[in-house]
Structure 1
Amino acid sequence: MQSVKNTKKITEAMKLVAAAKVRRAQEAAVNGRPFAETLLDVLYDINERLQPEDVNVPLTEVRPVKKVALVVVTGDRGLCGGFNNAVLRKAEARMAELGKLALDCSVISVGKKGNSYYMRRPNISVDRFVEGNSFPTAKEAQMIADDVFSMFITEEVDKVELVYTKFVSLIKSKPVIQTLLPLSPKGGIRAANDEFFRLTSKEGKLAVERESVSAKGGGMGLSPLMEFEQDPVQIIDAMMPLYLNSQILRALQESYASELASRMNAMSNATDNAVELTKNLSVVYNRERQAKITGELLEIIAGADALKELP
């Protein structure tokens, strides 16, 4: 019983720590979406204008796919329910699909849990292991973007896909796959009905007040009458590194927010289970204690009766 109570204190503390961090991570993930979405819309519009022209934009070149690189984003720690397992299963399923199409596949693993997973599987080709930070930064995203850029430009791979966990709400996250390169108008990051929350203290206990917000749909679009002072090719070449960095940073932020939310829910469930287990153990303990006391009383009564019968 004392061990369960000690465990409950630990899980409750971990729940509070995750709850304190997830608010900041959630804001970073959701607030970064409008910029990345607008950037995608601008790039798509400029790329469509360049289609009739004979220009060469390497990062938008769609070529026959022989090898695919998967950037798999996992967490750095456990105790977060099925968060890491879900994204790793998603990546495994994608590898199986590519294998059926007779396509080669390599992995860029981001996060300690993913790194340890792929280190135990030498049959999977891993190009790079990236250790995550406590909070996603542009520097970390730039390092991954440089590797992806180099692999695609040198035609080491013909397609790059992001496998990460999309943050939906405090109680829901979804592993997704997004095409990173070549630039495709089918990609999208709109997320309607995102959920914000505020921590409150009611009756001395942690409580969560949820508030749903609606994402603005549709892109900004560019007027067909708009003229560029610079060559559109130069504009795309200047924006593509920013595009790679922003998309990877957004995936890291979404994954980090999902990890914290999963950990908060897992620790909350663990705390509730500890409370229930303590109650059950108390019932069993009291029953055993009562049975022992009853047995001792019966022995005393039997002894007293025996003394009365003595001459």
Structure 2
Amino acid sequence: METLEGLSEALETAGDIRSIVRTMKSLSAVSIHQYEQAEAALADFEHTIELGLTALLHDRRAHGRPLPETAPGKGGEALIVIGSDRGLCGRYNETITRFGADRLGDQAVFLAVIGARAAARLEAEGHTPDQSFALPGSVAGLTSTVQAVILEIDRWIRTEGVARVRLVHNRRQGRVNADPHERRLLPIPKITLARLADADWPGPGLPFFRMPPEQLLSWLVRQRLFVILYRALAEALASEHATRLAAMQRAERNIEERQDDLTAAYRRKRQESITRELLDVVAGFEAVSTPDETHEDHHDDLPKP
């Protein structure tokens, strides 16, 4: 049976939880904006890398050379999955791990996971990650995380003969906060190279370069890899916080409804308590006053002297 004290404590607890939810909503809203800005900031750099590839491919064509191979491995495959380190973000990790597991199938694929919760889910499904990375806690940590992943890709290529690397992550798409998306990191698709080779140069003449073409190609491919990973990681983190924001909004509505129910129950219980106390006072008054009236009645019956 609910008591006034119990209802009062429940109301206080609900208020505390609501304050926490509001704080998490504010943090997620701010984080979404920061990661979206970080992702957009690299758009110009990505365009610069594509211009460099365009100049290099034009030079190769002028010398009668075919489109280059951008992954020197022997044929191995690798998959990188970006998930989450933290909870309270709905089905964010479930969505991306299921999407990634479908692309793994029964193949022998090297697997790297960014995000402890996604790694745990994949391992529970029988896909043990070969390498795991923690998600950065802020925009400032994006660069170091991306560099660590690139070093792992380099190791795969050198020691494991990996020639194809794919990336899966969630991103915001319209009203959907966690829409799974796949990108090929290596090799650069032939259709992309052909598009860049056929692109018109925006200036009056092609630039020249002194660096050996193969060395320049390697550097441009690495920079393109950095940009794609950086933007994908920023998109994934913005998606995570958007999913968490939506979850917190639903939680806040549920808490408000719970608070309304508790407040109504508290008022009813308080009114019952007040009514019971008044009845006790009335009953006590009647119990005290009744003997006096009886005594007065007996006194009137006594014979007069």
Pairwise TM-score range, normalised by the shorter structure: 0.7 to 0.9
2:161 paired residue among 151, 156, 163: 156
Equivalent residue number for residue 221 of structure 1: 199
Q: How does the TM-score come out when normalised to structure 1? A: 0.71
Seen in structure 2, the aligned counterparts of structure 1 residues 32 and 43 have a Cα distance that, compared at 3 Å, is same
Of the structure 1 ranges 20-29 and 45-54, higher mean CA displacement relative to structure 2 is found in 45-54
Q: Is the 8 A contact 1:69 1:161 kept in 2?
A: yes
Query: 1:62 & 1:116 partners in 2: Cα distance?
Result: 29
Of the structure 1 ranges 157-166 and 218-227, higher mean CA displacement relative to structure 2 is found in 218-227
2:266 paired residue among 269, 282, 285: 285
Q: Is the 8 A contact 1:72 1:91 kept in 2?
A: yes
Q: Does 1:89 align with 2:98?
A: yes
Q: Is the 8 A contact 1:70 1:106 kept in 2?
A: yes
Equivalent residue number for residue 182 of structure 2: 177
Query: 1:109 & 1:181 partners in 2: Cα distance?
Result: 17
Q: Is the 8 A contact 1:170 1:261 kept in 2?
A: no
1:43 paired residue among 53, 56, 67: 53
Higher strand share: 1
Equivalent residue number for residue 117 of structure 2: 113
Name the SS for the 2:266 alignment partner.
Answer: helix
**Which amino acid letter does the alignment assign opposite residue 282 of structure 1?**
T
User: How big is the shift at 1:276?
Assistant: 2.0
Q: Is the 8 A contact 1:39 1:243 kept in 2?
A: yes
Name the SS for the 2:88 alignment partner.
Answer: coil
Query: 2:152 & 2:236 partners in 1: Cα distance?
Result: 20
What are the ranges of 5 or more consecutive residues in structure 1 without an aligned counterpart? Answer: 188-217
What do the CA deviations read for 1:133-179 (whole angstroms, capped 9, x no partner)? 21243232122112113323555333211111224468734221111
1:104 paired residue among 96, 99, 108: 108
Q: Is the 8 A contact 2:78 2:110 kept in 1?
A: yes
Larger gyration radius, structure 1 or structure 2 = 2
Query: 2:173 & 2:47 partners in 1: Cα distance?
Result: 17
Name the SS for the 1:126 alignment partner.
Answer: coil
Higher helix share: 2
Query: 1:86 & 1:24 partners in 2: Cα distance?
Result: 24
Equivalent residue number for residue 3 of structure 2: none
Seen in structure 2, the aligned counterparts of structure 1 residues 151 and 222 have a Cα distance that, compared at 3 Å, is farther
Name the SS for the 1:59 alignment partner.
Answer: coil
Q: Does 1:79 align with 2:79?
A: no
1:261 paired residue among 214, 237, 242: 242
Query: 2:55 & 2:159 partners in 1: Cα distance?
Result: 26
Aligned CA-pair RMSD: 3.7
Seen in structure 2, the aligned counterparts of structure 1 residues 62 and 157 have a Cα distance that, compared at 3 Å, is closer
Equivalent residue number for residue 142 of structure 1: 147
What do the CA deviations read for 1:218-252 (whole angstroms, capped 9, x no partner)? 99934498474456444312211111112111111
Of the structure 1 ranges 74-83 and 218-227, higher mean CA displacement relative to structure 2 is found in 218-227
Query: 1:17 & 1:125 partners in 2: Cα distance?
Result: 32
1:59 paired residue among 52, 70, 76: 70
Post-superposition, which runs of at least 4 consecutive aligned residues in structure 1 deviate over 6 A? 302-310
What are the ranges of 5 or more consecutive residues in structure 2 without an aligned counterpart? Answer: 1-10, 295-305
Query: 2:286 & 2:223 partners in 1: Cα distance?
Result: 93
Query: 2:146 & 2:84 partners in 1: Cα distance?
Result: 15
Equivalent residue number for residue 18 of structure 2: 8
**Count of paired positions:** 273
Q: Is the 8 A contact 2:52 2:220 kept in 1?
A: no
